[in-house]
Structure 1
Amino acid sequence: MKIHIKNMVCHRCKLAVDAELKQSGYHPQQIELGEVIIEEELNTEQLEALDTRLKQLGFELIDDRKGRLVEKIKNLIIQLVHHTSDTLSINLSAYLAHQLHYEYNYLSNMFSEAEGTTIEKYYISQKIEKVKELLIYDELTLSQIAYRMGYSSVAYLSSQFKKETGLTPSHFKHIKENKRRNIEEL
């Protein structure tokens, strides 16, 4: 049985869900971001009980097609921004349309309706969180970060960073107080 889970966005999330499923007596066969396949077929009562346990961990079962699609969009963006070491030089709309086999306009409208924000704004917030991480680690110059994150220039990165955080990247690096938010909080 395939189960879709909201807020499962990182490796630790997968481990937590795996542990909860096993503790509940289920046998997960495959765990991906936002999706789990288990051997068992669960009835409504079992799904509700599992949902209650997952909510205690900060997760939630998704039972509608649009909700699952929104989670897939989020997970693809998170994967692209946070778990890919390649330079981000991709057209996001083409990437999502190709990965999900839907027209981008449909994905965009559905995402905005469900989340109250655009895919682009969500993508930018994820990129800025990754920039914060890279600034805190202090291993790359701002030019290298801009290139790696697919910005056309340091000035454009700085402008977008300030718009999102209220700080310039160099000021952020200096104070490091507004470090990072959890991916799940975006």
Structure 2
Amino acid sequence: MNAIHYSEYDCEASGNFLTEASLARQGFDIRVEHAQWSNTGTALIETGDSCLLRLMLPTSAQTKPNFGSFPSHVAHRFHPLGNLLFIPRGTEFHLRHAASEQKALVCLFDPSSLGVLGSYRWNWQDGVSEAMLNLQSGYLHASLQRLAEEVAHPGFASELQTECLLTSIALDLRREFIDADDDAVHSSHSAEKLSPRQLNILRELLDSASDEGRSLGHLAQACQLPLRTLSSRCKNTTGMTLRQYAAQSRLQKAVALLADSRLLIKQVAYQAGFNNAAAFSAAFRKELGVTPEEFRHQRQR
């Protein structure tokens, strides 16, 4: 399979790339790489016949955020890159980097060369979007971390293990960026409902209980929709407004967390996505008719 083509075009010094570990077979080439840039600059990355997934890995060096852009996209603006990004095959990608050092898992693969996936058509171009620059899927993140471990410390049947992981990853990416768009074309109601990818993003962020999951504005930004439109489509999809859906998701998580008697109420509140214990108790009592303490006591009895 063809490797990616990397070329700097506004920096005198190109980046230095050191491969710490690698695993390459028919259909995939996976590496754990150290990248170091002595100056700021911009580079053109061409993926050729391969898709590219990059997962940032922990390093002792202080990292600085990079930015990226798809020149074929209408907006053609540089956006901050997340820990996990995806560049489809046959795509030009512009990287704007700082003078920094980074460690990452770089995964090149061709889905059409992975067993039964060869029978599917893999047309990524209609689904290229800025969402690819900051994938929010916890599943993909965990799968790529597993790949990084497999490359660094190969075990029994590493090639088979790697191919199985890549097959699952490719199918998940297809559901987000190919099949979701096909469904939108064939469904007359899809423009007024959340796509499977958008609904998955909502669930991932709300379940994470991160600061992003607490902000309705960030949820809208992650789904690439205005807040009012997101709330309307959320209601058409789930029967609840965005605020109601977020509140129900937090309470469902809180109920599960309350089963762990080792957690303080304020810990449950924070992990479920509430800003403080008082707001959590008020919302819990309004919905279930009892306080979190009373609910926990009833369950223990």
Q: TM-score range by the shorter chain?
A: 0.5 to 0.7
How far apart, CA to CA, are the structure 2 residues paired with 1:105 and 1:79?
20
TM-score of the aligned structures, taking structure 1 as reference length: 0.55
Q: What's 1:21 paired with?
A: none
Q: 2:205 matched to 1:80?
A: yes
* Pair member with larger Rg: 2
Q: What's 1:143 paired with?
A: 266
Letter in 2 for 1:127: R
Change (3 A) 1:33 1:156: farther
The C-alpha deviation readout for 1:134-157, integer Å capped at 9, x for no partner, is 110223100122233343332211
Alignment RMSD (CA, Å): 3.7
Contact 2:193/2:237 (CA < 8 Å) preserved in 1? no
Q: Name the structure with the higher strand share.
A: 2
Letter in 2 for 1:105: R
Q: Name the structure with the higher helix share.
A: 1
Q: Which runs of 5+ in 2 are unaligned?
A: 1-120, 123-137, 140-166
How far apart, CA to CA, are the structure 1 residues paired with 2:240 and 2:252?
17
How far apart, CA to CA, are the structure 2 residues paired with 1:33 and 1:156?
37
Contact 1:108/1:119 (CA < 8 Å) preserved in 2? yes
Whose relative contact order is higher, 1 or 2, with alpha carbons under 8 Å and at least 6 apart? Answer: 1
Q: 2:157 matched to 1:32?
A: no
Change (3 A) 1:113 1:92: same
Q: What's 2:230 paired with?
A: 107
How far apart, CA to CA, are the structure 2 residues paired with 1:140 and 1:29?
34
How far apart, CA to CA, are the structure 2 residues paired with 1:172 and 1:127?
16
Change (3 A) 1:30 1:107: same
Q: What's 1:92 paired with?
A: 215
Letter in 2 for 1:171: E
Contact 2:220/2:226 (CA < 8 Å) preserved in 1? yes
Q: CA deviation at 1:97?
A: 2.4
Letter in 2 for 1:159: A
Contact 2:266/2:277 (CA < 8 Å) preserved in 1? yes
How far apart, CA to CA, are the structure 1 residues paired with 2:192 and 2:247?
21
Contact 1:87/1:149 (CA < 8 Å) preserved in 2? no
Query: 1:1-186 maps to which residues of 2 (within 5 A)?
Result: 30-32=170-172, 35=175, 64=187, 65-66=190-191, 69=194, 71-82=196-207, 84=208, 87-88=210-211, 90-176=213-299
Q: Secondary structure at the match of 2:258?
A: helix
TM-score of the aligned structures, taking structure 2 as reference length: 0.36
Q: CA deviation at 1:28?
A: 6.4
